[in-house]
A = this chain, B = another copy of it.
Amino acid sequence: MKRYFFKPGTKINLADWDPNETAEFDGGKNASKNALEKLNQELEPLQELLYAEHKHKVLVILQGMDTSGKDGVIRHVFEGVNPQGVRVASFKVPTPIELAHDYLWRVHQQTPGNGEMVIFNRSHYEDVLVVRVHELVPKSVWQKRYRQINEFERILADEGTLILKFYLHIDLDEQKRRLQARLDDSQKQWKFSVGDLKERQFWPQYTRAYEEALTRTNTSWAPWVIVPANRKWYRNLVIGTILVKALQSLKMKLPAFDGDPKEITIE
């Protein structure tokens, strides 16, 4: 899966990244179900180990255009994980209290503690995406944020947080298909928002904003993964595989028992 990472400093042009790619899995969609189930089964004990060891913190950041599949990743990749060990934080339009603070204030409140895995469904990256596209703050303000975000994430990493950032890469046609699918299915219509159509008109601006964010905030301590996400099954496999490997690389261990269990009598 190394192909979906890139070196810090690399200038990203999303046109060079194929959202339809499925190069790392031969089996196709049907075979992917078993592969994903296997990943779910690997993830569960790793998460329990994370919780038991109470040493590392894990932060998974999901970003992508509307309909790119952030909710779907949470549902499918984290299915079967103990809800006690995973928390999802969704960052929507900021409240007045949140707006009265710096943009990282609400984010910091949601970062994981020891033994915890937190998934950000959107994140502080919106402060260099939607905020930039709609000019909610002047350029002089959002321009500083790439550096600030890198510094903020470095603090989290220094203090024991494994950070993985996934950009779910779909194209304009795929978004159209997904929006149309929501309209056509009475069970999915509630997910359709006219606001999504409005945002869709800003696709080129969002693409440029994402390219700059990916280029400037891809660090050794908080790397980005550009996930080909036109095929949902492939997107899930890529994220599940990278997550399992990253957790394995922590070489976690159960805490040693303090004393000799045989000497303890339960009355």
CA–CA, A49 and B84, complex, Å: 22
Flag if B80 contacts A84 (CB, 8 Å): no
Flag if B79 contacts A84 (CB, 8 Å): no
Residue on B nearest A261 in the bound complex, by CB: B183
CA–CA, A107 and B180, complex, Å: 42
Of the listed stretches A21-29, A85-93, A160-168, A219-227, chain B binds: A85-93
Contacts of A74 in B (CB 8 A): 82-84
In A51-75, the 8 Å CB interface with B consists of 52, 71, 74-75
A-B contact sample (10 more), CB < 8 A, given A183-B266, A190-B255, A200-B267: A74-B83, A75-B82, A75-B83, A78-B83, A81-B83, A83-B83, A83-B87, A84-B88, A183-B261, A183-B264
Per-position contact with B for A2-32: 1 when CB-CB < 8 Å, else 0?
Answer: 0000000000000000000000000000000
Copy tally for this chain in the complex stands at: 2
Q: Contact residues of A with B, CB < 8 Å?
A: 52, 71, 74-75, 78-84, 86-88, 90, 119, 121, 176, 179-180, 183-184, 186-187, 189-192, 194, 197, 200-201, 254-255, 257, 261, 264, 266-267
Closest Cβ of chain B to A109, distance in Å, is 11
Flag if B176 contacts A266 (CB, 8 Å): yes
Closest Cβ of chain B to A218, distance in Å, is 26
Closest Cβ of chain B to A138, distance in Å, is 30
Q: Which of B87, B187, B200, B264 is A254 in contact with, Cβ under 8 Å?
A: B187
Question: With A179-B266, A266-B179 known to touch, is A254 a contact of B190 (CB < 8 Å)?
Answer: yes
CA–CA, A87 and B80, complex, Å: 14
Flag if B180 contacts A266 (CB, 8 Å): yes
CA–CA, A121 and B88, complex, Å: 17
Flag if A119 contacts B83 (CB, 8 Å): yes
Contacts of A266 in B (CB 8 A): 176, 179-180, 183, 197, 200
12 A-B pairs whose Cβ atoms sit less than 8 Å apart in the complex: A52-B190, A75-B83, A79-B80, A83-B83, A87-B87, A87-B88, A180-B266, A183-B261, A183-B264, A186-B257, A189-B254, A189-B261
CA–CA, A77 and B84, complex, Å: 12
Flag if B84 contacts A121 (CB, 8 Å): yes
